[in-house]
A and B are shown apart, each in its own frame.
Chain A
Amino acid sequence: MSTLVNEAKDLKNLPNNQDANTPQSEPEMSLSDSAKVISPGQMVLRRFFRSKLSLVGLITLFAMFAFSFIGPLVSPWGEVQITGDYKWVTSILPHQIVVEELNEETGLMEEVTYVFYEVSEPYKVYAKTPPSWEHLLGTDQYGYDVLTRLMYGGRVSLLLGFLVIFAEVIIGMFFGSLSGYFGGWVDQVIMRVVDIFNCLPGLPILMLAAALIDGWGVPARQRIYYLLGILTFFGWSGIARLVRGQVLGIRELEYMVAAEATGLSTKRKIFKHIIPNVMPQIIVQATLGLGGVILSESTLSYLGIGVPFPYAAWGTMISSTSGAEGRDILQNYPNIWVPAGVCIVMAVLAFNFIGDGLRDAFDPKMRR
């Protein structure tokens, strides 16, 4: 910590020395000997890695990625491979019919009740296998291997999170910079639209959209793309507002006046001079937002309108505690639902830690 402060002081001294009309070669030589010049990017990285929490977040994230993307290659089981123990069961359905019959003793018609039992063909019922060496976290009520499903669930959550945030950043940056740079009626229109999206209730509107798409009868695999679309559509407004605020501030800075004076094109001014300076805030916001997207996705999956069965998702794995066998699984099979919850918490925590670390690292006012 102290070395950084010294370096900063040395760097500050540089212009002062020049102002004092001292011979220029001398102090410069001694400065380059004593101080190592580091680029802003390096400084951010150093500050970032100094915080223990952000380091923990980064390591957790790498671990989760390895688990979700390399894990399935190692795992002997498939995502939808039914492997658990099973037993053959037949169901017995009682039927009752009432028939009018001639009673031979009395010679009258009487109503007689017959009961017969319909016995079904034997069918397999998959047992929830407890953890063993073969299935490290056991199998769930459908006979799927829990550990393998955790990996595939991680794939969906992480991939979907990154894609949604990427799309949100593109859209939000486009509208935000338009709005902030041009001002006037463009700003008015875009900001009113952003206001509208801000006033929509978060989860309920996502549920409405997801439930409606559920009714379209989209094939299971494609549902994920629709989910991506919904999450992006209702999520971009926050980033647009952030970018607009930043652009408004940057537009007034002196270097932008200089850019104006050199006659640069609008496109160049926005993409070369404004956007790079908004990037730090966007990166922080996007990292923190990633956790939010993962939470939304798993909540929708928990409610049964997210990633569709039989594909794995962390939310769906926890939703087994609320179904028909819910009480039993909740009570006796924590191996089915607790790991999924731990995974969600770890992923979201990791993104929050990294986002926080980045924010502190990017902040020039931070001393630490």
Chain B
Amino acid sequence: MRLGLIIVKMIKYIVKRLALSVLILFGVSIIIYGLVRIKPGLDFVQAKYYAQMQLDNTGQVALMVEKQREIYGLTSPILEGYLVWAGNILQGEWGDSFIFSVMTGEVELLVDAEGNPVLDSEGNQLTKPISSSNVLDIIASKSTISFVIALIATILQFGIAIPLGITSATKQYGVVDYSVTVLAMMGISLPSFFFGALLLRVFSIQLGWFPYAGLTDPNSNLPVLLDNIHHLVLPITVLVILSIGGLMRYTRTNMLEVLNADYIRTARAKGLSEHKVIYKHAFRNTLIPLVTILAGILPGLFGGAMITETIFSIDGIGKAAYKAVTMGDIPFVMAYNLFLSVLTVIGTLLSDLMYAVVDPRVKLTGGSK
């Protein structure tokens, strides 16, 4: 009976939160589309093909441009245009990138002018791989390597930050605490592009321990996997060092709060060993607020790291987004921003649900945190 009630409540909460998420994404899409549309003068499709249109006198390019503009609703006023664009998004048509294309893995059968199959000398029909510049395909294909990097970095980050945060809380105002605090602050304050450049300068150029760029080296005599790992050491170091500070300080603050709680005094009064007090009683309760961190992890895992990937020339989604911005590939940038927003919304939703699961004191009432 009671369990049933909780489940009903849970479902109600989830439905309410989902409705809210849809509302938020609606707002996000308005901002992103609005940003693109407030530009005076030429819109981004016209700007992209401006030079070609000037050179072309057959009218082919102009036709193509008009077709492109219709896809993004640029021919109509902003409100109608938004509806057209949002409708396309909802139907899964997120637009085509101007500069990227990927192989979809499917093939097209080649036919000659009369529609007969083209055969090679052994009688097999010739095929042509189909490439796609659909932004969703590109995001899917580019985010794999970004995901791998981010996953390793996240695991390392948690593995280092949580123990350090706990140590610094249990030895508050000690030497360890001060050095950890200062190091964490340094990590937060370092810009990734500067730290990346420094690491490249010292460990790649000066000492020659790690490769300069990319993911593989054809001249390397290491096995492929080891070679990849060798290439990934520096970028992952950047990601870990830069994100570790915040998590470490968060763990420290939570741990300090828990250590001041009454039940910790009780545990100590019972005569439990300090080790048991900290790792059994305090640590588990420290984990509860850490669940909220989940919200930020999801976009981090799939969204790539723009600056780090660019510095180390890793062909992930972050580098693609950077390239898209610099080359004016607005459809891709719009899709990328929307994609990250969706991830953030899902992450927030998950973290709120997790919070309710881990902490029985949290009541499911809906609304924002």
B32 touches A341 (CB 8 A): no
Q: Is the CB of B325 closer than 8 A to any CB of chain A? A: yes
What would 24 A/B residue contacts be, using CB atoms closer than 8 Å? A193-B27, A195-B20, A200-B337, A203-B307, A204-B306, A208-B36, A291-B189, A302-B191, A304-B326, A305-B325, A315-B191, A318-B197, A322-B310, A331-B201, A341-B194, A344-B189, A344-B191, A345-B186, A345-B189, A345-B190, A345-B194, A349-B186, A352-B185, A356-B185
In the complex, which of the residues B31, B41, B173 contacts A200, with contact meaning CB atoms closer than 8 Å? B31
Q: Which of A330-350 contact B (CB under 8 A)?
A: 330-331, 334, 337-338, 340-341, 344-345, 348-349
Segment at the A interface, from B57-65, B282-290, B338-346: B338-346
Q: Does A368 contact B (CB under 8 A)?
A: yes
B326 touches A212 (CB 8 A): no
Q: Is B182 engaged at the interface, CB distance under 8 Å to the other chain?
A: yes
Whether B205 pairs with A212 at a CB distance below 8 angstroms is: no
Q: Given the complex of chains A and B, what is the CA–CA distance between A309 and B243 in angstroms?
A: 31
A199 at the interface (CB under 8 A from B): yes
User: At the interface, yes or no: A295 with Cβ under 8 Å from chain B?
Assistant: yes
The verdict on A204 contacting B321 (CB below 8 Å), with A199-B348, A349-B189 known, is yes
Q: Which residues of A contact B330 (CB under 8 A)?
A: 208, 212
State the CA gap A291–B186 with chains docked (Å).
Answer: 12
0/1 interface trace, chain A 282-316, chain B, CB 8 Å (1 if under): 00000000010001001100111100000000010
Q: Which of A137-156 contact B (CB under 8 A)?
A: none
Q: Let me know if B368 is at the binding interface, CB within 8 A.
A: yes
Partner of A208, one of B47, B192, B198, B337: B337
Q: Mark A114-127, 1 if CB is under 8 A from B, else 0.
A: 00000000000000
Query: Assuming A199-B28, A199-B344, A302-B191, is B334 touching A208 (CB within 8 A)?
Result: yes
**Residue in B36, B190, B194, B205 whose CB lies within 8 Å of A331:** B205
Binary flags per residue of A185-208, CB closer than 8 Å to B gives 1, else 0: 000000111011011110111011
Interface size grouping (class) on chain A: 35 or more
**Does B123 count as interface, using CB distance less than 8 angstroms?**
no
Interface residue A215 (Cβ < 8 Å from any Cβ of B): yes
Min CB gap B337→A, angstroms: 5
User: Does B31 lie within 8 Å of A196, measured CB to CB?
Assistant: yes
Closest to A204 in B: B337
A216 interface residue per 8 A CB criterion: yes
B51 at interface by CB-CB < 8 Å: no
Tell me if B203 counts as interface (CB < 8 A to partner A): no
Any chain B CB within 8 A of the CB of A209?
yes
**Cα-based distance from A211 to B191 in the complex (angstroms):** 20
The residue from B44, B299, B333 contacting A207, defined by CB atoms under 8 A apart:
B333
A303 touches B337 (CB 8 A): no
Residues in chain B near residue A305, CB distance under 8 A:
325
Asked if A341 and B337 sit within 8 Å, CB to CB, the answer is no
Residue B130 is within 8 A (CB to CB) of chain A in the complex: no
Report chain A residues within 8 Å CB of B340: 201, 204
* Bound Cα distance A211, B337 (Å): 14
A368 CB to closest chain B CB (Å) equals 7
Asked whether A368 and B173 contact (CB < 8 A) given A208-B325, A352-B185, the answer is yes
Contact assessment for B191 and A341 in the assembled complex, using a CB-CB cutoff below 8 Å: yes
Report yes or no: B325 in contact with A207, Cβ–Cβ below 8 A. Answer: yes
User: In the assembly, what is the distance between CA of A315 and CA of B306, in Å?
Assistant: 15
Are the CB atoms of B201 and A330 closer together than 8 Å? yes
Separation of A123 and B356 alpha carbons in the complex (Å): 69
Of A209, A298, A340, chain B has the most CB atoms within 10 Å of the CB of A209
A212, A337, A341: which contacts B35 (Cβ < 8 A)?
Answer: A212
Chain A contacts of B11 at CB under 8 A? none
Rounded to whole angstroms, the CA-CA distance of A211 and B39 in the bound complex is 11
Pair B325/A211 contact, Cβ less than 8 Å = yes
* A322 and B311 within 8 A (CB): yes
A302 to B326, CA, bound (A): 12
B163-204 residues at the A interface, CB under 8 angstroms: 173, 181-182, 185-186, 188-194, 197-198, 200-201
Within the complex, the shortest CB–CB distance from A259 to chain B, in Å, comes to: 27
A287 smallest CB distance to B (angstroms): 13
With both beta carbons as reference points, the residue of chain B lying nearest to A298 in the complex is identified as B191
A337 touches B197 (CB 8 A): yes
- Neighbouring B residues of A215 by C-beta, 8 Å: 39, 44, 47, 328
State whether B35 touches A192 (Cβ < 8 A): no
| B321: chain A residues within 8 A (beta carbon) | 204, 207
Give the complex CA separation of A207 and B320 in angstroms.
13
Distance (whole angstroms) from the CB of B319 to the closest CB of chain A: 12
Give Cα distance in the complex from A331 to B206, angstroms: 8
Query: How many angstroms from the CA of A322 to the CA of B192 in the assembled complex?
Result: 13
Q: Is A177 an interface residue (CB 8 A)?
A: no
**Nearest residue, chain A, Cβ from B47:** A215
Tell whether A321 is near chain B: CB-to-CB under 8 Å.
Answer: yes
Do A195 and B344 contact each other (CB < 8 Å), given the known contacts A201-B299, A345-B190, A352-B189? no
Q: Is the CB of A196 within 8 A of B39?
A: no
Verify if A53 is at the interface (C-beta below 8 Å from B).
yes
Query: Does chain B have a CB within 8 A of A362?
Result: no
For B205, the closest partner residue in chain A by CB is A331
A37 to B96, CA, bound (A): 70
Bound-state CA distance A338–B195 (Å) is 10
Indicate which residue in B39, B191, B299 contacts A216 across the interface (CB closer than 8 Å): B39
Say yes or no: is B336 at the interface (Cβ < 8 Å to chain A).
yes
Does A353 sit within 8 A of B, measured CB to CB?
yes
